[in-house]
Amino acid sequence: MSKAHTLTITGIERHTLSILVDNEAGVLARVIGLFSSRGYNIDSLTVAEVTHDRGISRITIVTSGTPAVIEQIKAQLERLVPVHSVADLTVQGPHVEREMALVKVAGAGDKRVEALRLADIYRARVVDATTSSFVFEVTGSSEKVDTFIDLMRELGLIEVVRTGIVAIARGASGL
Amino acid sequence: MYGEPIPGAEIIVQALIDLGVEVVFGYPGGAVLPIYDAIFKQNRIRHILVRHEQGAAHAAEGYARATGKPGVVLVTSGPGATNAVTGIADAMMDSIPMVVLTGQVATHLIGNDAFQECDTVGITRHCSKHNYLVKDVDRLGDVIHEAFYIATNGRPGPVVVDIPKDIQIARATYRKPAKIEHKTYRPTIKGELADIEAAIELMANARKPILYTGGGIINSGPQAAQLLRELQRVTGFPVTSTLMGLGGFPATSPAFLGMLGMHGTYEANLAMHDSDVMVCLGARFDDRVTGRTDAFAPNAKKIHVDIDRSSINKNIMVDIGIVGDVGRVMEDMIRIWKSKGLTARKLDDWWGQINQWRARQCLAFRQEGSEILPQHAIVRLFEATKAREPIITTEVGQHQMWAAQYFGFDKPNKWLTSGGLGTMGYGLPAAIGAQLGNPNALVIDIAGEASILMNIQEMSTAKQFELPVKVFILNNEYMGMVRQWQDLTYEGRYAHSYSEALPDFVKLAEAYGWTGLRINDISELDAGIKTMIETPGPVMVDCRVAKLENCFPMVPSGAAHNEMLLGPEQVVGALSEAAQALV
Ligand SMILES: Cc1ncc(C[n+]2csc(CCOP(=O)(O)OP(=O)(O)O)c2C)c(N)n1
Ligand SMILES: [Mg+2]
């Protein structure tokens, strides 16, 4: 369920970038610092090592800006020494974006039953339960996660933690 | 089988020797004592003891800029590293190859607020091209080699290597690595031929072309300056240069329009504004060059050659961007131009227009009476020294702009100035570095009386190493450039821009073991300059100049190129708030 994240509100576009970096000390600080020092937006950021043997991490950044700013962001990222490659998934074609959230809801009676029913509809799994609370694990597009969290608000939402977006291109080829 | 393990400090020194380093600018302290001991035990590398770590960094910049080789700095942890930061940031802005070795507290103390600890890699992360904290002595030798590779390849810049004290003591085997192939850092050197062909197509049909050249010509090496001459010769195009590019093309050539930008010439700026094809070679459309970006060269098709892809379309959108080394790209341009049977374009109308602009004589001034005009002092200095092809460094301010306007450079690596960061205090240490790299050259720091005080302690360094640098102070008793902006923007309210309580520069020179001279008025000017040049050893000249002279032409911040102020009568005294907000 991919979609072109190309909002054209006053020319501002939303792009999802995949960045392969050497997993060395300070690399994340370099990337994040580049965004803050040059005034670029970070809407979402995730990072984890993906090839242990070669020590490479993959950073997924969702950012927004005018087309010129997006081009600058990519060029500036490529300039960082530990960066192997920068891919703009939004430009490259169809891709899948997923996010996971853990959602804690407390309540009793009807509200508790309703929370469980909605969780079922949203394919959220119960990963912790007490007599007065649940923790749900919900995965999907950011919009789906947003909606689920909104629904839980009326039903005793206590807290939320989200991973941020991970994304991958559709089809057979890789970065 | 690479021999006995040796301490990290010796690995560092051996690596520097293997890299061909001859000079290191440094200042000792607790966290680098092992490296200093290793330096003490050898005689291949010369250590130049500065008097402040900022001086070490600027000296390394001056050395690099004047020789084309990377400058090397060695400082201790904490205050040693923080003192060097201004010079690191300066080298970053001006793309100067430099490697800075900083001591760090022992690895087990890092993060404990140990004595003289600071987060050097954190502090320098965004003002260096790259940096390292070496936590494993087995990596140390490779890291030093890699640091030099990164500092000197692609767009040059400063690389910081932070080395904890225990790593300097721990042992490892060292071997000189084979040719470095960095796993991620692979700068693009050769430009895309299709883009170069397209550029030639535009150039061949241009009616009002201009070559807009920058510091990349200097960084690419002396052959790039040769290629630029050749490119100009085969195309017949006029040439202008940024502050950083001066000397990349001969100032004496009739095709040279002078410097462009905020204090550039009338003809250079108007030719940029009116051009129909602009070829930017190793420059970066800095705001000091473009003025108001939405009014910048509105009718020009723009071609931009830069080794750094992020410079292309950063400030100004261009029609053809070519990523590559400017020397290599010019080589291809010349080849393709010739292979198409193209010859130097006549461009009579264009030159006619340019010559009309030239006739305005925007740099003319009237030296009358006995008070020396600073412009005149520079013209006389130029006339008296040009046969010796001196290396000129500057501080920052009006004197810097006047030097850029009135001192002609025909060769690269002769003009050393802090362009991007605009660092007062750059000139004297840079002159020291340049002199070390060119022992027989005449090296002159054209200084302001305010700037020179910012790294005045380096006079002691010049004395110790018998470096015959000359400091020529245009003493107007004002932070003249600040005062000029106060004239322009704040109706002449001179808030703290008067140089109060100045030292007696002649006595100061003598106190440092230099020769001190004073030039009071026009009758003493030529003789004073002559004495300065002929006196062996370091000389400081306190040249008293007109106090209230301002630097023109000027494109005020936020104005377009064709809205230049040509003289003081055009200074209005107040600016809109929007314009005031610009620097
Ligand atoms: C380190 C630093 N601090 C402040 C400034 C701002 N600044 C730019 S020019 C200038 C005045 C320089 O005065 P002087 O050296 O006498 O040169 P002049 O303009 O009079 O020729 C100042 C304060 C700067 N460029 N660098
Ligand atoms: Mg002054």
Q: Name the minimum distance, in Å, from the CA of B125 to any CA of chain A.
A: 7
Q: What dihedral do alpha carbons A17, A23, A27, A32 form, nearest 10°?
A: 30
Query: What is the DSSP track for B220-232?
Result: T-HHHHHHHHHHH
Q: Give the pLDDT band (50/70/90) at residue B287.
A: very high
Distance between CA atoms of residues B305 and B203, nearest Å? 14
When pLDDT is averaged across residues B307-322 and rounded to a whole number, the result is 97
The answer to whether the complex's ipTM is over 0.85 is yes
Tell me the pLDDT tens digit for each residue of B348-377. Answer: 999 999 999 999 999 999 999 999 999 999
Q: Which two tokens stand for residue B164?
A: 């904890």
pLDDT of residue B181: 79
Mark whether B278 is an active-site residue: no
Is B64 or B558 the better-scoring residue by pLDDT?
A: B64
Surface of B (127-156) touching A: CB under 8 A: 129-131, 133, 135, 150
**pLDDT at residue B268 is higher than 80:** yes
Residue to mutate, B54, B83, B396, ligand 1, most ligand atoms under 8 Å from C-beta: B396
From the list B405, B113, B58, the residue with the least C-alpha distance to B264 is B405
What is the edge-to-edge ordering of all strands in the sheet holding B391-394?
A: B415-416, B391-394, B443-448, B470-475, B539-544, B515-519
Mark whether B176 is an active-site residue: no
From the list B450, B407, B446, the residue with the least C-alpha distance to B430 is B446
CB-based contact A115:A157 (threshold 8 Å): no
Place of tokens 């072109």: A4
Distance between CA atoms of residues B66 and B89, nearest Å? 19
**pLDDT at residue A7 is higher than 60:** no
Distance between CA atoms of residues A54 and A69, nearest Å? 31
CB-based contact B443:B469 (threshold 8 Å): yes
Query: What is the DSSP track for B465-506?
Result: TT---EEEEEE-SB-HHHHHHHHHHBTT--TT-B-TT---HH
CB-based contact B24:B48 (threshold 8 Å): yes
Q: Whose CA is nearest to atom 5 of ligand 1?
A: B424
Amino acid B578 reads: A
Residue B210: in which H helix or E strand, if any?
A: strand B209-213
Nearest-CB residue to A72 (from B131, B184, B314): B314
> Ligand 1 within 6 A of B423 CB?
yes
Predicted TM-score (pTM) of this structure: 0.95
3-state secondary structure of A145: helix
Distance between CA atoms of residues B42 and B106, nearest Å? 25
pLDDT of residue B568: 85
From the list A12, A7, A80, A123, the residue with the least C-alpha distance to B129 is A80
Paired residues of B540 in beta bridges: B471, B516
Distance between CA atoms of residues B137 and B9, nearest Å? 10
Q: Is B523 on the interface with A (CB under 8 A)?
A: no
Q: Name the minimum distance, in Å, from the CA of A98 to any CA of chain B.
A: 28
When pLDDT is averaged across residues A122-131 and rounded to a whole number, the result is 98
Mark whether B302 is an active-site residue: no
CB-based contact B277:B200 (threshold 8 Å): no
Secondary structure string (H, E, C) spanning B186-206: CCCCCCCHHHHHHHHHHHHCC
- Partner-chain contact B184 A22, CB within 8 Å: yes
Tell me the pLDDT tens digit for each residue of B235-263. Answer: 999 999 999 999 999 999 999 999 999 99
Mark whether B165 is an active-site residue: yes
Q: Name the minimum distance, in Å, from the CA of A95 to any CA of chain B.
A: 25
- Partner-chain contact B308 A81, CB within 8 Å: no
Residue of B61, B129, B165, B302 with catalytic role: B165
Tell me the pLDDT tens digit for each residue of A59-100. Answer: 999 999 999 999 999 999 999 999 999 999 999 999 999 999
> Ligand 1 within 6 A of B453 CB?
no
Query: What is the DSSP track for B27-62?
Result: ---GGGHHHHHHHHT-SSSEEEE-SSHHHHHHHHHH
DSSP 8-state code for residue B453: G
> Ligand 1 within 6 A of B235 CB?
no
CB-based contact B180:B301 (threshold 8 Å): no
| pLDDT > 70 in chain B, percent | 99
Provide the CA B25 distance to its chain's centre, in angstroms. 18
When pLDDT is averaged across residues A4-15 and rounded to a whole number, the result is 63
pLDDT of residue A10: 57
Q: Which two tokens stand for residue B87?
A: 């010079």
CB-based contact B418:B90 (threshold 8 Å): yes
From the list A53, A44, A52, the residue with the least C-alpha distance to A17 is A44
**pLDDT at residue A8 is higher than 50:** no
Distance between CA atoms of residues B557 and A108, nearest Å? 66
Q: Which residues of A touch B317 (CB under 8 A)?
A: 68
3-state secondary structure of B404: helix
pLDDT of residue B557: 84
Residue of chain B with shortest Cα separation from A37:
B126
CB-based contact B62:B431 (threshold 8 Å): yes
pLDDT of residue B2: 63
In chain A, the domains with their CATH numbers are 3-93 (3.30.70.260), 96-167 (3.30.70.1150)
Distance between CA atoms of residues B444 and B431, nearest Å? 7
Pairing mode, strands A166-169 and B158-164: unpaired
Mark whether B500 is an active-site residue: no
Which ligand sits closest to the CA of B86? 1
Q: Whole-number mean pLDDT of chain B?
A: 96
Q: Name the minimum distance, in Å, from the CA of B432 to any CA of chain A.
A: 31
Backbone Cα Rg of chain B: 24
CA distance readout (Å), A100 to A46, A97, A114, A127, A153:
11, 10, 21, 13, 17
Residue B298: burial class (beta carbons within 10 Å; 0-12, 13-18, 19+): exposed
Provide the CA B388 distance to its chain's centre, in angstroms. 21
Q: Whole-number mean pLDDT of chain A?
A: 93
CB-based contact B517:B542 (threshold 8 Å): yes
Residue to mutate, B451, B455, B456, ligand 1, most ligand atoms under 8 Å from C-beta: B451
Paired residues of B213 in beta bridges: B241, B281
Distance between CA atoms of residues B344 and B80, nearest Å? 54
Q: Is A36 on the interface with B (CB under 8 A)?
A: no
